[in-house]
Structure 1
Amino acid sequence: ILGSEVFSDADIVNNLSLFRPLDHYIEENMPNLKTAMQETPEMKQISTFPDGKIYSLPSRLPLRPKSSRQPVINKTWLDKLGLKVPDTIDDLYNVLKAFKERDPNGNGKQDEIPVIELSNDLISPFGIADLNNNAMVVEEGNAVYYPVSEAYREGLKWEHQLFTDGLLDKELFTQDETMRSAKFLNPDAPIVGFTYQWTPDAVFGKWSDQYETIPPLAGPDGKRYTIGNPYGMNLERNELLITSSCKYPEIAARWADEFYTNEASVQNFWGAIGTVIQKNDNGTYTLMDPPTGTSADAWYWDNSLRDFGPKYVSPTFEKSIFLNPNNGDGLKLQLDKLGSDYATLPFPNVMYTAEEFQKLPTLTTIIDSYVNTMRAQFIILGVNDEAWADYVKQLRGMGLEQLVKIRTDAFSRYISVE
């Protein structure tokens, strides 16, 4: 069974009898994967199930950035208004006020939207960098549920100020992705001043040249935080499973192991040598440019398994791969340099037991819904001591302590894998 989209963690954990433990086959029939796990121990860590066995195979994607979404600003507007790139959240506030009040797109209308937010990106300067959207962060080696933290509360106060002053998109809580995309692509003039994105060209269409990715903003503590992973966003699991009904598991394992060679993996990720990748006489590899009118990322997806399927490209081999710095993965790696030094270790993609999976859906549905509802209320109306205390009390009554215990127990198992 190929690709992590087929079965989720819960599907596998709740049906372990349908899948073969792979530890023996990795040891005896998969020398490439065995070497990969020795070189990159995190591959074993992410693949180990709560019973200590491996049932699905991992992947390590090549040349991935450390930064996820990064701050993006309309540089043309900054230049027109004689403003510098903001360095702190206070600088950003002043820039956003100017975007709202001084008609930077020059159409004579006050139609500028200073900020469009995705997820909780705007509060990342407060130390909240939630890459995996599970409401958890890691602080000093400990797993922390941040929606009840003081940092989160201060971040909400900051967003409330932006909302009250008309700087935050007023349709933040009512629009869908189509409506938001239409604002980024507004046909008559650019109307968005600041946001967080993977790359500017991914969302702004014909206005992309006006936008630049900037370094992360310094927050109240003077520090900078990037949503991402300081070790690179390159590890996945559940990319291949062997069912218990497979008659020849040793052969299946040997076949799967062929995915874990460097040359097979780069083709698995970008496309075939001679079609997408040029193999050079000196042993290096160069990604070709996509056909005119096709984005690099779309071209890679059309020609490979891309993010899915087993693969491993060693850190050493990565040095022999050359990407165009002006598009696709090469462009993202260039932009990544602005934020990679500040990438914050995320709460990892941990594994849960069958018993934990039985409890999680109810707990997360109730608690996440309430947190999102109150986030909107706090941003729109503000948050005082009484409202915050009641919010925390309500969460505890919904089973927050049980949810946090499940998360932290899974985290403890994850970091204890050897």
Structure 2
Amino acid sequence: MEKNKYFIDDFTDCEWPAAVPQDQPTFHHPTGHNPPLLSEDYNSGDDDDDSQCPDDVPEVNLKNVLTGIVAIVTGRNKDTTQHTLPASNLAFIGSGKDGDTYVHPSVYIPSAPPLLEPTGVNYNAYKQVLEAEPPDWLRDSTAKVCMQCSAPFTALTRGRHHCRFCGGIFCRACSKGRCLLPVKFRERNPQRVCDTCYDMLDPLQGVLINTISNAVQVAKHDVMDWTCTRGWLNLPVGLSMEHEIYKSSNTLRNYCQVARLNPERSIPAAVLKGAKGLAILTVAKAGMLLTYKLGTGLVMSRRADGSWSAPSAIISAGLGWGPQVGGELMDFIIVLHDFKAVKTFCSRMHFSLGAGCSAAAGPVGRVLEADLRAGDKGSGMCYTYSCSKGAFVGVSLEGNIVATRMDTNLQFYGDPYLTTGDILLGTVDRPKAAEPLYAALEDLYSRLVC
């Protein structure tokens, strides 16, 4: 099979740091590598020991702890010096009709230019980084102290972490960042790197996000019929965004088939026309009197022009109480009928409370629910339509916790600064990997609305 080739072309004019002069000294990385010097703020590894962790760290004992608590309570630890802050320009903040403030869409554009000029000086300044080869990792026994702060490693409080870009060994505090790596590393998920390598790779993240991230790849799984197990059975937990996209596409297509055979059981056309967003989940439910639920899925919002936003991954866990017994696997389609409900799903975590009636016998069943959801971004009413498989019957009071899967979004989009609000309400482009999902949405609306 021919290997994938990535090219950086059709570049736009952007402001980039000036190229490094040839006579400028290069930075000596702690591991022995000499990556290109991108800023004068880097310190040479040959500097004095003052660049290492200070030796005058205050001793931690009961007296110092009590003294610190008293200082905090009495306010003596506050700095009495008045600092004059420069006037800030708030032109990027606007006010909506409902009184809510919003951030101008230009803020959501990545800080790094999306493309580089292959013949310009700017490209040459970063060419060594873009064409870097995977390093040979140092053995764990090579270093007993962090290669950046020289703090000794311990079994519990300060473990070893390899930098995926340079191969050095660092402590957790000196390797907090995660970045997409150049093409030759053959890694599409953001990887842990040391602080020095992070400063080198961060300006190139705009290029790498638009070329090698999971979101810009063509969907690999698009077969949704009886010849594929995934075509008729969705697992309740998806391990990646690609899996969630496949599950949601399959749920929409299966629901279209059920609606075509039984129009009275379909989602009302008026509800679909007014939907401001959809949340699609697969949830497993089992128990007697007290039931337990767990599942994953994704959520999307509908923009003003009628198009759908990029998907955001979510996970749901909950309890149900009432006269009920059995177990079932449910494919939920939650209709968000206003922007308040969409803002609720922008929260890192929100709660839902509602009542439902379930009946499943064999491969086809019905679950009808209405619930109220509330989170730190707001609250809203949602309607839930679903199909279920299994043996279950009952009426119950349902309580759920829904949380955004930040790690899943990071692995898919490759941008550590991307929030759920940016995905659902911002200007994030529709990912190529989600094309099966958008095709299923168009099919749903063409059959049920038109």
Higher helix share: 1
Higher strand share: 2
Shorter chain as normaliser: what TM range?
A: under 0.3
Which structure would you say has the larger Rg? 2
TM-score (norm 1): 0.24
TM-score (norm 2): 0.23
